[in-house]
Chain A
């Protein structure tokens, strides 16, 4: 064995968004000289543009570093984790690959929603936790109070927590010292049959799907025949290696190691996050605990703005899917929007990221429908259906019962916003569960809220009502019976399927009115009057009218500038091309999303 397990430390960094996780990771790589200065971009582990721009991590990247402490050389494997609630399952799998976690807390902001979620996740995975106070260089830093907060709220001993400024490079050695002295080395039997956890994967056009793995027992090397335990599919290993942070092939990976594995796997869906890899022959029979299929929770219709680009959109989704097993999609046809796809996402951020990548990396113009969740419909004939597209809802007469997903929502806020937040949650059909003062200036409120209400305009409302001070975290806890109805929108007498949505009965009138008003704003006047009606089961509950256009004529048109005037017309016509023809009505793309945004 080239190196002893006792000299390995596998750890990750967890933090609330923007508390400095990626910056600390960068500094740690600096100090361990893993990355030559000239290669160092800010936030090196965040490899996608979107990640760097938004300051969040979507894809995980593990990196192996060498560090000499007290005369001994150690191998440190840092596994970066995504920083958002949508990716909780991924986070939990990458935590599983570690023995310990660095918990970063911002010295001025203190504990936030995801700080706690991540701590609990780490504890669930039996990780040792090293608290670290970051951003001590800020004038508003209050490290002593934040230490107290960590001890009071989380119950961790923070007395010896390193005070760090990742930005300024202060305190990094202290962090590494604690990683080596406080975190346990991996345990595991190299002579036992192979047992390795997949905590992420990505697609490489030459090597196929590449799994990021943590080996718990045994050893794996090129030439081994391996088995994916969730599917029993077998593959021949072509290469194993580590990230430094670029891929570096190794002879083998053995118990305690973190690295990658290639096996000519054509599809990332064969490298499921959380799955256990063992040997095809003489492997283990019991997989590692905790694997589950990830189910999308938020759905949205994605259509090309230009109908002719359907195949481009299809290709783009296929390519994204290669790297993102949690993205699901299937073709759908809308009378309003033509051919497109119903896509399922882990959450709203995941949805936004996919849409943004489609537009940016594949240069597509998209029309997206308002996000919806998946409902369980129990029919009168006893069948149960999962409905993710409101237009597929069976007629009311065939529905015995409807159920909607419900989340446990944690809101963290300064006390002065408790009132307005509770009002918002009540308004969103939330059920109050608990309210805790974390300290004099911070409160944690727990609500049970239908996911349907979260995907509408909850985030925006929360932000605007609390001037951005409150943070939200949620996890889906299950389905609950609910009194839901389908709200249809009719334009000029015809139902526009892409605008239909499922809402709670008590909310239907208000929402119907709000949507009709909003559509009146966004639909431009046309050659004829357009009635906008919101209806439930054929009964009209709200009505607005877009008056017929009266003025659309070029000024003057004397000899002066005919060429320019013609270009003006041409531009106007181009603008119209971006509109969707729904029956006889021209609808701008933003109409489909605008039905979401109407908090006062």
Chain B
């Protein structure tokens, strides 16, 4: 039996951040109850399909904001997950927002078997937080990390870079707080304005000023070097951690390992099929109420597609793509098949018989390199 990761999407938030284009709506208790029931039902439906083929080894509850669910609501999902699917859970992450988490909830998470909490901090600078629509204070965010660490759970925090009014000093402060509070994992993203978001519109109307590419990259370079100074290492272009604190669930995405998504707009990779759930509540509920899975086929991957994805995602990781696994999975000789393409970009790569990876200094411009290899 093969391992599989389970992702459960909780599409509710207390408020919408100005940069967000994820499937999410403002929470209301009745809706949440309805949703929890649908998710439970979906898990049971899924069980009939995957129970005899896969063992769940990682669980990731993301959003939205999973912490808007009460411990009881979340517990109901987790209980049914464990009951319906074959589980040997090695890592169990829940995303939380500093506004909707407290010590009791963290304790309850621990009792459910959660091993890792990911806190959506984004910034510890109150001015910057305000400019992007985050409602929590820096104190609330620091407090949340303390609760998580004190409960003995792994603590990850998200950082966003290239935000309005953000400076290099903010990045330094961020790393200081990480160091002082026992955080073991940081996801650092450069802001990307997605169409349809409040910030995108403000930018279009000239009402929003953002740090330019160079300033943003300076922030990224800074957080990387500061984190390395305190004993972190980068293992994926946006992810840093202390030794052995990599997110096993997220690694599956970059290693093209199977995962199944539950809930609104969740995606799955099972075998050679990429599937996705509808992002419309009514559509989702209708299917589930009829006792059917809501999944739709996004793409049936050909061997070539799978090879391309393996490269495209694998090279996001600092230790790159596993050539040995590639060769045995696809029954080819990677170095030979890609010889010509590799030659074109070899100055940007570290290549050995076992692994191919992008040199540290070129990780930020990997699209150019990956495009040369996969198209």
Contact = CB atoms under 8 A, between A and B. Distances in A.
A551 B365 contact: yes
B268 A559 contact: yes
Interface in B247-306: 250, 252-254, 259, 261, 265, 267-269, 274, 298-299
A319 interface: no
Interface string B343-369: 000001000000000000011111110
B367 A572 contact: yes
Contacts of A206: none
Given A556-B238, A569-B367, A551 B217 contact: yes
A551 B298 contact: no
B308 interface: yes
B299 A563 contact: yes
A131 B364 CA distance: 70
B214 interface: yes
A550 interface: yes
A557 B313 contact: yes
Contacts of A569: 312, 367, 370-371, 374-375
B184 interface: no
Interface string A564-600: 0110011011001000000000000000000000000
A550 B213 contact: yes
B253 A559 contact: yes
Contacts of A386: none
Interface in A527-555: 527, 547, 549-555
B309 interface: yes
Contacts of A282: none
B298 A563 contact: yes
Interface of B: 7, 189-190, 192, 213-214, 216-217, 220, 237-238, 250, 252-254, 259, 261, 265, 267-269, 274, 298-299, 308-309, 312-313, 316, 348, 362-368, 370-371, 374-375
B180 to A, nearest CB: 27
Given A559-B267, A563-B274, A563-B299, A553 B309 contact: no
A562 B274 contact: yes
Contacts of A547: 214
Contacts of A576: 371
B366 A553 contact: yes
5 contacts: A547-B214, A550-B213, A551-B364, A552-B365, A553-B366
Given A555-B192, A558-B250, A558-B253, A573 B375 contact: yes
A549 B190 contact: no
Residue with the greatest number of chain A CB neighbours at <10 A, chosen from B217, B253, B367, B370 = B367
Nearest to B309: A562
Nearest to B370: A569
Contacts of B309: 562, 566
Contacts of B316: 557
Which 5 residue pairs are nearest across A and B when measured between Cβ atoms? A550-B217, A552-B367, A552-B365, A555-B192, A573-B371
A560 B298 CA distance: 11
A566 B312 contact: yes
Contacts of A572: 367, 371
B375 A570 contact: yes
Contacts of B214: 547, 550
Nearest to B256: A562
A335 to B, nearest CB: 21
Given A557-B313, A559-B268, A562-B274, A552 B375 contact: no
B67 to A, nearest CB: 19
Contacts of B217: 550-551
B375 A551 contact: no
Nearest to B190: A551
Contact of B368 (A552, A557, A566): A552
